[in-house]
Amino acid sequence: VGREPAAGVLEGLDPAEARRILDAGRPRAVRKGATIFREGEPARAMHLVEAGRIRLGQVTAAGDEVVVRMAGPGELFAAVAALDGRSYPFTATAAEPTRLREWDLSVLAELLRACPRFQANVLGIVGIHAREMLDRFRELATEPAPQRIARALLRLLGPPGPSGERVAEGVTRRDLAAMAGTTLYTASRVMAAWQREDLVRPGRGRVVVPSAARLVELAEARA
Amino acid sequence: VGREPAAGVLEGLDPAEARRILDAGRPRAVRKGATIFREGEPARAMHLVEAGRIRLGQVTAAGDEVVVRMAGPGELFAAVAALDGRSYPFTATAAEPTRLREWDLSVLAELLRACPRFQANVLGIVGIHAREMLDRFRELATEPAPQRIARALLRLLGPPGPSGERVAEGVTRRDLAAMAGTTLYTASRVMAAWQREDLVRPGRGRVVVPSAARLVELAEARA
DNA sequence: CGTCTCTTTGAAACGCGTCAATGGCTGTGG
DNA sequence: CCACAGCCATTGACGCGTTTCAAAGAGACG
């Protein structure tokens, strides 16, 4: 199953209409660590990341954290909550300084109705996210921890730099663990082992991957 | 998070319109074990269970099975695939003789456009399913196997009978394991242990639960 | 320069998966 | 009608992957 480059919400719209839709949304800037909304709150809006990174997570009654997804530039979040008007299913916090654009429920409903292509785009993105959750569910149920950590890391990597290396910036061992459904300790050990094999160059709050290809092999091994 | 009684797709529609929508769908009967569609196939339709039970599952490259959801009477499946027109994200097979109603993509698009309430209902159901996957993801990442098996069992139980007992019919240990993300063996052992505590009365392909309350306690314990 | 977060590493315990073998129930066909 | 095949279930033994607990080091930030 190939990963698609998160098709933009404005894909295929003519520039004027795209402009109109963007302008209907409210811009918002948040500091690192700021909370956009909390799990259980009634949905107010659909949110788009313009720059920065948002961490979508749940906290269990026992205090364990689970990261549902990290949303980067161009990515939508809480689209389902906005579409069905119920409550937010996770808590959103800024992993770094972030610019957002937010469409309030009533405004959104109007835009979706007026612009079929926009509606199709939003539904397409909802579909991508639903499929991704299904994949991660299966991975969590069937794959060992190191493999899941490889997948989590791949999902967090930025674009390749000049030397072909890719970096996951602002990602702690705790973050990796919370995405992979394991513990901080296991994540640390796995990174240490990979470092010895020269698969990664881990640092404090960052991971440098010289060649993602070997990581992909690891993630997709069907041992 | 309370579980809602899977709001029907036709909820809130006046009878005439409900009739019209139903008639636009194609009825279909399948034998036990029959495959409705396979993971990866291009989506053809949105499907509704009228009677019977459909098993929505994925199979890993290594051959392990994961059950994404069991869809019972009144429940919709593959709604997301039908909305975004891409491929089915799981394989659907009949767990028992089943009657379905299916709306082809083009027909569905027309109905959704013509009837806002119907569209809202479908989106609401998509939302419920998305939230449920999120919940199960968190449970899988943080809870021990017996607790997940308790949750799986609760999700599979039928309505309470005259004596207040509830039964999961046509559910094997393998099914329970595939829903809980564990193995057939662990499921068997857990059932045996619960039987000793008189929590369940397991049988071949069925599980009788005298009092679901104690199971709920087990499922929600935050120890 | 102290505090806080992030990280590493060891040692021990344990849950659960894995393997193997056995027995029972069901439906089918000779 | 009985025997066989096939699926479902049970149970023990074993081992390994991971979590858990504890302690200490290192980089970042005010």
pLDDT in tens, A44-78: 999 999 999 999 999 998 889 999 999 999 999 99
Would you call B134 and A83 a contact, using CB atoms and an 8 Å cutoff?
Answer: no
Residue A213 CB: number of other CB atoms within 10 A?
A: 10
**Contacts of B143 by beta carbon, 8 Å cutoff, 6+ apart:** B151
Q: Tell the residue number behind the tokens 């935050």, with chain if given.
A: B222
What is the CA B152 to C1' D14 distance in angstroms? 28
On whether the CB atoms of residues B63 and A113 are closer than 8 A, the answer is no
- Residue A81 near chain B (CB below 8 Å): yes
- What are the chain A neighbours of B90 within 8 Å (beta carbons)? 134
Residue A73, both tokens: 């530039």
- What are the chain B neighbours of A64 within 8 Å (beta carbons)? 141-142
Residue A7: predicted pLDDT? 59
Of B105, B103, B106, B117, residue with least CA distance to B17: B117
Sort A61 into a burial class: Cβ within 10 Å, 0-12 / 13-18 / 19+: exposed
Residue with smallest Cα–C1' gap to D27: A204
Residue B206 CB: number of other CB atoms within 10 A?
A: 13
Residue A12 CB: number of other CB atoms within 10 A?
A: 12
SS3 A187: helix
Three-state secondary structure of A118-141: HHHHHHHHHHHHHHHHHHHHHHHH
Q: Strand A98-104 to strand A26-30: parallel, antiparallel, or no bridges (unpaired)?
A: antiparallel
- Residue A223 pLDDT class (50, 70, 90 cuts): low
SS3 A64: coil
On whether the CB atoms of residues B59 and B48 are closer than 8 A, the answer is no
How far, in Å, CA of A204 to CA of A13, rounded? 41
Chunked in runs of 10, what are the mean pLDDT values of chain B (223 residues)? 58 93 95 93 97 94 92 96 97 94 97 95 97 97 97 95 92 96 98 96 95 94 76
A&B contacts, CB < 8 Å? 102
**Contacts of B66 by beta carbon, 8 Å cutoff, 6+ apart:** A137, A138, A141, A142, B57, B58, B59, B60, B178, B181
On whether the CB atoms of residues A55 and A90 are closer than 8 A, the answer is no
Would you call B136 and A131 a contact, using CB atoms and an 8 Å cutoff?
Answer: no
pTM score of the predicted model: 0.94
Nearest chain B residue (CA) to A40? B1
Residue B1: predicted pLDDT? 39
Of B203, B182, B175, residue with least CA distance to B191: B203
Within 7 Å of a protein beta carbon, the nucleotides of strand C are: 5-11, 15-20, 25-26
- Residue A84 near chain B (CB below 8 Å): yes
Distances (CA, A) of A84 to A126, B48, B126: 12, 19, 8
Strand order across the B45-51 sheet = B26-30, B98-104, B45-51, B76-77
Would you call B90 and A127 a contact, using CB atoms and an 8 Å cutoff?
Answer: no
**Contacts of A128 by beta carbon, 8 Å cutoff, 6+ apart:** A4, A6, A7, B84
From the list B62, B126, B137, which residue is nearest A140 (CB)? B137
- Residue A105 near chain B (CB below 8 Å): no
On whether the CB atoms of residues A173 and A205 are closer than 8 A, the answer is no
What is the CA B199 to C1' D4 distance in angstroms? 36
Residue A185, both tokens: 């300790």
Find residues whose C-beta atom lies within 7 angstroms of strand D: A 144-146, 181-183, 185-186, 189, 204-205; B 172-174, 184-185, 188-189, 191-192, 202, 204-205
- Residue A84 pLDDT class (50, 70, 90 cuts): very high
